[in-house]
Amino acid sequence: MRGDAFTILLIVMGIILGIVVYLVLFVPPQEVLKYFGGANNNQPVTFKISFMYFSSSSINAIIYNEGPGTINLNNMHVYAISSDGNQYNCNVISNGTVNPNSQVNIVINCNNENQIINNLLSNNGYYIFYFDYNNYEQNYNLTASAPSR
């Protein structure tokens, strides 16, 4: 009876040791910590808006993540203020993340977007877009002279 319990204990210890070796050799530490709740993904994030442009149907921005944290685009808040002081709430349409030291092109959807685009196309004023992620904010001044695509 004692031998059976000892054998089961050795098998269980061997399985645990095998899992630990696998995790150490093949899984990045941040993934292991995230799975076990030992780390939150609140690394500092710095980013810049490299470029913004508009067309007759959309407003786009290129965001460069300067790192070290990953940006979840679903949690980015965007709003715009026009040259006459009106504020527009916006959403990032693009899903996914922006990894450190990389950039992504996002589509921005604002309330009264047609009015914004028409004003820009007719060279009527400018808009300052504010991008906020984890209390880090960047802005970009979008004018009619910005190249449209």
Each residue of 28-75: pLDDT tens digit?
Answer: 766 666 666 544 456 788 999 999 999 989 999 999 999 888 999 999
Looking at residue 18, what DSSP letter applies? H
Split at pLDDT 50, 70, 90, the class of 149 is very low
**Amino acid present at 10:** L
**pTM reported for the whole predicted model:** 0.69
